Homo-oligomer: A and B are copies of this chain.
Amino acid sequence: MRREPATILGIDPGSHVLGWGAVRWEGPQALSAVAFGALRVPPDLKGGARLLMIRRGVDAILARIAPDAVALEEVFYGRNFQSALTIGEVRGVCLLAAAEGGFATYGYSAAEVKAAVTGNGRAHKSQVTAMVARILRLTQPPRPADAGDALACALCHANRLTFPAAR
């Protein structure tokens, strides 16, 4: 088992709201929330200006958290080609920001994240949120939901530190 404490930043890169949440791992029974929130992009902001805003937001989060690892929630299916292009743009900006900052990134599917947090890869969103709150001993479910998803993604990566053989 890995013994050094680690800070893990989870990111849920949506096209209009980017959820983020950082957890501190100090062992399997010592997980805590560092900070979490959501970066909202005004819907009227398009193209390069939109990505520039996301880039600056992600850079600020990376600088604030200084994570040992960045865990990105990956999307594998969706509504249509156009929405995938948009998600890809945001994902590209996040990956680029992490790479330029020298941060290691890991990708997890929604099913992996759900399974890691609830034991069930097809768990309902509300079950995931409730388990995130329980694991991190939050007095209420993390808000907004996108931040909760990002914390779940960070916990998924934390699980790999506890059980390295599982991956």
Interface of A toward B, CB cutoff 8 Å = 47-49, 51-52, 55, 75-78, 81-82, 84-93, 95-96, 98-100, 105, 107
Q: What's the Cα separation between A37 and B14 when bound, in Å?
A: 33
| Number of identical monomers bound together in the oligomeric complex | 2
Main secondary structure on A side of the interface with B: helix
Docked-complex contact A76 and B84, CB < 8 angstroms: no
In the assembled complex, 17 residue pairs joining A and B whose CB atoms fall closer than 8 Å, in A order, are A47-B95, A47-B107, A48-B95, A48-B96, A51-B99, A52-B96, A52-B99, A55-B100, A75-B85, A77-B81, A78-B81, A84-B84, A87-B88, A88-B89, A89-B92, A89-B95, A92-B92
Docked-complex contact B91 and A85, CB < 8 angstroms: yes
- Extra contacts, 20 of them, besides A48-B98, A48-B99, A76-B82 (Cβ < 8 A), are A48-B105, A49-B99, A51-B92, A51-B96, A52-B96, A52-B100, A55-B100, A76-B81, A78-B81, A81-B81, A81-B84, A82-B84, A84-B85, A88-B92, A89-B95, A91-B92, A92-B92, A92-B93, A93-B96, A96-B96
